Copies of this chain bind each other. A is one copy, B any other.
């Protein structure tokens, strides 16, 4: 699916911001942007509005569009923006390679908690799998996930070596579009310390998530323990 021109422009500007093309933390004015991108003024206006809605820039009346300095500080491993990015694509930062190690894959009956999180009965089998994700050679994330067998009957150890969401999108044209995520901090366990090379006083960030199919059916429940230096979730919050 081709994206509207203003979305493409917003993404280009976002990339420019990340690569620090605007060292003064201020965007060029609308007129300049219109010329640079060779599009209509209204496309630029919509692109800027999108960036403002995402909290990436702040519009300051009369003085232009300023880059949110907190946005720039992000060095997050997970980035739940963009096009159906699962964990995997979003972990790829330019010049870095990611690696997924499958630690386990089983089929089990769901605990009451898993039943609740995935709207299952006690008889609905689920895959239970653990993966360790690394950037280059640095392990950053231990993932424990559950997927109902009937929603993904062909799941295999082989498939788990890649991003499931990318696979679903590319091979089966299925998009996992929404997720409900919880962020917490916890002391690291001994297992965390070994897997993520943490000292015993270093914490993990814990993200639990329910990932939903288009029709609202929960597809996956996942609990992710991250090396704390790789947890950085940013969000624009409406207080009203």
Contact = CB atoms under 8 A, between A and B. Distances in A.
A68 interface: yes
How many A residues touch the partner, as a band? 35 or more
30 contacts: A52-B216, A58-B119, A58-B212, A58-B216, A59-B216, A60-B217, A68-B180, A68-B210, A70-B117, A70-B209, A70-B210, A82-B239, A84-B239, A165-B239, A175-B240, A177-B240, A180-B237, A181-B234, A181-B237, A183-B183, A183-B231, A183-B232, A183-B233, A183-B234, A183-B235, A184-B231, A184-B233, A185-B205, A187-B201, A233-B233
A123 interface: no
Contacts of A179: 236-237, 239
Interface in A26-81: 52, 55, 58-61, 66, 68-71, 73-74, 80
A148 interface: no
A239 B228 CA distance: 23
A135 B99 CA distance: 43
A74 to B, nearest CB: 7
B187 A203 contact: yes
Interface string A76-120: 000010111110000000000000000000000000010011010
The 10 closest A-B pairs by CB, nearest first: A203-B203, A185-B185, A185-B228, A185-B205, A69-B116, A183-B233, A80-B237, A177-B240, A55-B180, A201-B201
Contacts of A59: 216
A10 to B, nearest CB: 15
A239 B70 contact: no
A235 B184 CA distance: 12
Contacts of A201: 187, 200-201
Contacts of A25: 116
A176 interface: yes
Contacts of A82: 239
A70 B184 CA distance: 12
Given A25-B116, A70-B210, A239 B178 contact: yes
Nearest to A185: B185
Contacts of A181: 234-237
A202 B188 CA distance: 9
